[in-house]
A = this chain, B = another copy of it.
Amino acid sequence: MSARRPALSVDVVSLTPHGRRLTVLLVRVGDSRSKERWELPNDAPRSDETIDEAAARVVRPTLGAQPAMLEQVAAFGDRRRHPSDAAVSIGYVALVASGASASLGGDAAWFPVDELPPIAPRQRAIVDGAMHAVRARLDQSPIAFRLLPSTFTLSQLQEIYELLLGRRLHKASFRRALHASWLVEPTDEWRSEGRGRPAQLFRYAPRKRRGSRRGVRFEGVSGT
């Protein structure tokens, strides 16, 4: 994309749920005759741009709209290979609401995060770092809602938490903690999905907390 040996690149890991899996957005890069090559959307920041602005610009063409969240992960300045050969790459995570990924740019596609095609080693590290950062922030701030449409069932919400944490949660405990956190409110609608009893729809509506807690906080482990 940019000229030879830039000092910097900005790389964005876009995440969205697809079914029961978390997926990452990759773009196919040139080389029409050689075998397929994929990479994270990335570019060198321009001279008049902050790195946050560069990251926003990098996701714009591939994603239709702006993501629900875009945050820096870290700088990666080791000797691992990067497509642009940049000395240092700055990783970002973008969270995209489920279903909002309808209009993908031409050569972009979503891949399950645990089944990525071969990518440059440094970009592989950026993806891992992005997952770490998201998990770390999950109990500090309510970022799980960024991956959901505006109304959702509690089972959907729990599924997102399980996707991000990589482990099952206890249903009753999850709902108790959620209730105590005052982050959601019920709507009048119910949704029937397949078998079983229909689920009530909720929306994200954080209330002022009187004293203490910041996020949702689960120690909760195994699930039935």
Among candidates B45, B77, B78, B79, residue contacting A87 with C-beta atoms closer than 8 Å: B45
Verify A50–B74 contact, CB threshold 8 A: no
Q: Which residue of B lies closest to A219 (CB)?
A: B212
**Residues 77-128 of A at the B interface (beta carbon under 8 Å):** 77-79, 87-88, 90
A: number of interface residues (CB 8 Å): 19
Verify B72–A90 contact, CB threshold 8 A: no
Instruction: Please indicate the chain B residues that have their CB under 8 angstroms from the CB of A51 in the complex.
Output: 75, 77-78, 88
Among candidates B8, B45, B77, B87, residue contacting A52 with C-beta atoms closer than 8 Å: B77
Interface contacts beyond A74-B75, A75-B90: sample of 20 additional A-B pairs, CB < 8 Å, sorted by A: A7-B7, A7-B8, A8-B88, A47-B87, A50-B77, A50-B79, A51-B75, A51-B77, A51-B78, A51-B88, A52-B78, A54-B77, A72-B74, A72-B75, A74-B74, A75-B75, A88-B88, A88-B90, A136-B136, A136-B140
